[in-house]
Structures are given as C-alpha cells and as structure tokens.
C-alpha cells in the first residue's frame, strides 16, 4: 500500500508540474528577464544531472577531474561534442589502466 502512495504522489506532482504552466501562462511572456531565465533552464538542468555522474564515474576522483578538465578545454576550443566525449572517455579509460 505504501508503494502505491509513493506512485500516486509522484504522478500528481508530475501532472501538476506540467499542467500549472499551461493553465496560468496562456499569453506570451514579454518580460525579458524571465524569458532569459527560461532559456537557461535546460542547460542548468542538464549540468546538474551530469556533473555528479562525472565525479562519481571512477574509483579515483583525480581521474574524473582530469577527464572533466579535458572536456572543458576541448569544449572551449570549440571541438565537436562527439570528439569531446570520445576523447574524454578514451583518456579516462587509459588513466584507469595505469
């Protein structure tokens, strides 16, 4: 019974998160600050979900930091996303073999 309550609460929460904006925000948002805030929400959400996984992906934290640093440098140099991911995965794999 307790598990069904958890599922019900999560279902209602998910439903409300999706329905409330549809019912309250029917007009176009004209506030520049709020629109700017909304454009960054997907990037922040992705970062918040990805960063802890990066740091906990290896048994040695320094290897994770080296991989993350490499990804940051490669991204700053405007390397493609595929090359960044493959390069960092290969680097972390080789560092774990050492």
Q: Which domain holds residue 69?
A: 2-97
Span 70-85, mean pLDDT? 95
Does pTM top 0.95 for this prediction?
no
Q: What is the pLDDT of residues 37-52, one digit of tens each?
A: 989 999 999 889 989 9
Burial class (CB in 10 A: 0-12, 13-18, 19+), 68: middle
Q: How many domains does the chain have?
A: 1
The answer, yes or no, to whether residue 62 has pLDDT greater than 90, is yes
């Amino acid at each position: 019974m307790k598990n069904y309550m958890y599922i019900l609460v999560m279902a209602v929460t998910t439903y409300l998160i999706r329905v409330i904006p549809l019912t309250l925000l029917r007009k176009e948002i004209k506030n520049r600050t709020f629109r700017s805030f909304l454009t960054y929400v997907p990037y922040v959400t992705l970062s918040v979900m990805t960063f802890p996984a990066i740091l906990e992906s290896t048994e040695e934290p320094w290897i994770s930091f080296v991989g993350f640093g490499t990804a940051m440098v490669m991204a700053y140099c405007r390397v493609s996303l595929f090359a960044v991911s493959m390069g960092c995965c290969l680097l972390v794999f080789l560092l774990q073999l050492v």
